[in-house]
């Protein structure tokens, strides 16, 4: 049974940093893409970043490019999202997800999802 467990959320001031972790278990993730999405109240779930598990290529949304960095540690089966220069509009529940195949920005392509971790950025 695949499990994705996020951690690292919390409260941070604008301009600060947080690192989210996603511990993945239940299978090998070769030929998978791992992604981070976020959702704030009253809004649809939004793509943030994605990484190919095998070769490590990445893609970011325009709103977080150059501020956030996605990475993975294959030995630890963990995906990270380093968030720097954070803004109040980054406030959301952040979800880790896994999709078969190459990187994607489309949420419906992701088969497995974590429960989410709350990130709040104060101004």
pLDDT digits (tens, 9 = 90+) for 48-63: 999 999 999 999 999 9
Q: How far apart are CA 48 and CA 53, in angstroms?
A: 16
Q: Binning pLDDT at 50, 70 and 90, where does residue 25 land?
A: very high
For residue 60, the model assigns a pLDDT of 98
pLDDT tier, 65 (very low <50, low <70, confident <90, very high otherwise): very high
**How much is the pLDDT for 24?**
97
Stretch 106-122: mean pLDDT, rounded?
A: 97
Q: Which among 45, 46, 96, 91 has a CA at the least distance from the CA of 70?
A: 96
pLDDT > 90: what percent of the chain? Answer: 98
- Eight-class DSSP state of 26: S
Place 32 in a pLDDT band, splitting at 50, 70 and 90.
very high
At 62, list the tokens: 């325009």
- The pLDDT of residue 35: 98
């Amino acid at each position: 049974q695949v499990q994705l467990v996020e951690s690292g959320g919390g409260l941070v001031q604008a301009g600060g940093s947080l690192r989210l972790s996603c511990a993945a278990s239940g299978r090998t993730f070769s030929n998978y893409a791992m992604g981070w999405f976020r959702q704030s109240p009253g809004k649809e779930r939004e793509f943030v970043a994605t990484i190919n598990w095998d070769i490590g290529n990445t893609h970011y949304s325009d709103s977080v490019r150059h501020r956030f960095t996605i990475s993975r540690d294959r030995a630890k089966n963990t995906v990270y999202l380093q968030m720097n220069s954070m803004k109040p509009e980054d406030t959301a529940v952040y979800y880790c997800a896994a999709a078969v195949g190459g990187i994607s920005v489309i949420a419906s392509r992701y088969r497995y999802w974590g429960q989410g971790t709350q990130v709040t950025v104060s101004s």
